[in-house]
Structure 1
Amino acid sequence: MGALSERRAARYGFSMAAALLSGVLLAACQSGPAIDLGNVDATQASSENISSLTQVINANPRDPEGYNVRGSAYGRGGRYQQALKDFDTAISLNPNFYQAYANRALIYRFMGDNGKALADYNRALQINPSYDAAYIGRGNVYRQAGRTQEAFGDFEKAIQLDTTDARAYHNRGLIYQGQGQHTYAIEDFSTAISLAPDASEPYNGRGLSYLAMNQEDNAFADFNMAIKLDSKNAEAWTNQALIYERRGEKAKAAKSYREAVRLKPAYQPAKDGLSRTQ
């Protein structure tokens, strides 16, 4: 291949990668995972764990805290109806139990009932206007509904309350990223990492912003760390593959795209990348 053809190929490769990055960033900003109870943990709802919590409730049937704790265990295990029943009981025993309202809101959110989720978050914040977890939860509902300004305000409020919950910074970082404010996004993702160093998502998010700023080595390091922390993160595998593809390492790119498709068969950026490289 002549020098002119090589330059044209290089320009084409960069343009293709930029276009793909734009699509990946859009997907991340629209549906990037938050760091909460979204990952079902069956051990939380194991028979042994639930049995011990039930014994506590039986010993103190008028204590709303027991129902709140067991409801949280049911929720982490994906047993949403049982969780709702426990939170309902906790709230009936203590109508000002703002943590139970916020926990029930999270279950409603997972079930796709955002109207009830918002109502419960609003009630929790009426009872305790300084409850950072409720601002973060409500902000997630707003962000996923495309109500970006309201979401940003809720994450900002949680941060102003000196929250130590990494989700506030991670989710505000996603909004900054969607607005193309990658320097601010990187700062927020870095703070989220300092608060939750074992979480995969902030590394993946920061990597995308590094890539948007053409800091490829930093991006690659972050995608690799995201995979190390969570080998089931299909988005991180896709983004690692994108770096390999940009570097012309098609075999490695195809391998990573293939793993992403295996983990998340409907994830379009991974499917498109695999069709380009295999």
Structure 2
Amino acid sequence: MTSWQTEARVEKRRGRGIRAAAWAGLALALSACTTAGTPSVEAIRLDQNQGSEQNIASLTAAIDAAPNDAEGYNVRGTAYGRAGNYQAALADFDRAIQINPNFPQAYANRALVQRQIGQPLKAVEDYSAAIQIDPNYAAAYVGRGNVYRLANQNADALRDFQRAIDLKTTDPRAFHNRGLLYQIDGQHRQAIEDFSTAISLEASAPEPYSGRGVSYLALGDEENALADFNAALKLDDRRAEFWANQALVYERQGQRDRAVRSFSRAAQIDPKYKPATDGLARLRGQA
């Protein structure tokens, strides 16, 4: 998984340290000029050492020294999440909230784990609790908005992303996710603006390039679409949808051999990826 296949903004108290931003699962499956989101579960991402046994042991020692410090449980919970120990992470966030019921970051972090284990309704409850405590908590609006978006509650999702943007968030997920909603609604120029903003905030993430390429292609701008798909592949060449999107441009341009190679690469990465298998069948039928 790339960072954009995950949504993970693990929070401590603001201004005090660990913040690891990743991105919501936003893989684009392009068929002709339409897209379909095929998100995966999210995962908490921190520095690679955050989930280590050594780090968790150190955090446990800190908790033993200050057992009533909600912050300590919140930080260790993120480390457990990074290590994939979601039950331990939930237990730590529960304890942090028990100690300090007005700890919005602990609610938001627990929401991430709830989504990870397939509990979106509980995730919404936790994000909403965080927002009730801190109405200006932009990251919680982004997180809740993405849960809504994945549930096809697009009006609610758009409202949350817009609220985060109105709060002057620098979180690129807000713009990328709003761009996806504009794209679904056929508002491709607005989508391109949002994808471009997301890129300006996080140039190393491939998904906004792919998303922008989809909208460029929908507007008939094959040159910019291809440039964006190529940029996405340069950042991550292990994503079937990026290869399939590139193949579609080649197919439109009449470059059959290149299209076949790109569709084949997509199918090799994911043999069940339908846009790739359909593209191959279509081109081979023309042979």
- What's the TM-score, normalizing by structure 1? 0.84
Query: Deviation of residue 37 (structure 1)?
Result: 4.3
Q: Which residue of 2 aligns with 1:212?
A: 218
Cα distance, 1:209 vs structure 2: 0.4
Aligned to 1:75: 81
CA deviations over 1:210-267 (Å, ceiling 9, x no partner) = 0101111111111111111122222211101111222232332222222222333332
SS at match of 1:26: strand
Corresponding residue to 1:118 among 109, 113, 124: 124
* Alignment partner, residue 31 of structure 1: 38
Following superposition, the deviation at residue 39 of structure 1 comes to 7.1
Aligned residues: 255
Query: Within 5 A, what are the aligned runs for 1:31-180?
Result: 31=38, 37=43, 44-180=50-186
Moved more, 61-70 or 89-98: 61-70
Q: Helix, strand or coil: the match of 1:174?
A: helix
Aligned equivalents of 1:253 and 1:38: distance in 2?
A: 36
Instruction: Specify the code of the residue in structure 1 equivalent to 2:61.
Output: Q
Over aligned residue pairs, what C-alpha RMSD do you find?
Answer: 2.3
TM superposition shift of 1:68: 1.4
1:270 to 266, 272, 276: 276
How far, CA to CA, are the matches of 1:38 and 1:209 in structure 2?
Answer: 29
Q: Indicate which of 248, 257, 267 corresponds to 2:254.
A: 248
How far 1:121 sits from its partner (Å)? Answer: 0.9
The answer for the alignment partner of 2:26 in structure 1 is none
Structure with the higher fraction of residues in strand conformation? 2
The match for 1:185 is: 191
Note if contact 1:251-1:277 (Cα within 8 Å) is conserved in structure 2: no
**Distance (whole Å) between structure 2 residues aligned to residue 32 and residue 87 of structure 1:** 25
1:20 partner amino acid: S
Tell me, yes or no, if the aligned pair for 1:32 and 1:174 is still in contact at 8 Å.
no
What secondary structure does 1:269 align onto?
A: helix
Distance 1:186 1:33, change over 3 A: farther
Structure 1 unaligned regions, length at least 5: 1-18
Q: 2:231 aligns with which of 220, 225, 236?
A: 225
Query: Contact 1:226/1:236 (CA < 8 Å) preserved in 2?
Result: yes
- How far apart in 1 are the matches of 2:183 and 2:158? 12
CA 1:265–1:67 in structure 2 vs 1: closer, same or farther (change >3 Å)? farther
Alignment partner of 1:96: what SS?
A: coil
Shift of 1:73: 2.6
Normalising by structure 2, report the TM-score: 0.81
Q: Quickly say closer, same or farther: Cα 1:241–1:187, change in 2 above 3 A.
A: same
User: Which shifted more, 36-45 or 140-149?
Assistant: 36-45
Radius of gyration: which is bigger? 1
The letter of the residue matching 1:73 is A
Closer, same or farther: CA 149–215 of 1 in aligned 2, 3 Å: same
Q: Identity of counterpart residues, as a percentage?
A: 56
- In structure 1, what is the equivalent of residue 21 of structure 2? none
Q: Are the equivalent residues in 2 in contact too, given 1:45–1:79 (CA < 8 A)?
A: no
Between Structure 1 and Structure 2, which shows a larger proportion of helix residues?
1
Asked whether the equivalents of residues 98 and 123 of structure 1 are also in contact (C-alpha less than 8 Å), the reply is yes
Would the alpha carbon gap of residues 235 and 55 (structure 1) be closer, same or farther in structure 2, given more than 3 Å must change? farther
Indicate if the aligned counterparts of 2:35 and 2:214 stay in contact, CA closer than 8 A: no
| Cα 1:258/1:69, change in 2 over 3 Å | farther
Contact 2:138/2:169 (CA < 8 Å) preserved in 1?
yes
For 1:13, the equivalent position in structure 2 comes to: none
How far apart, in 2, do the equivalents of 1:69 and 1:176 lie?
Answer: 36
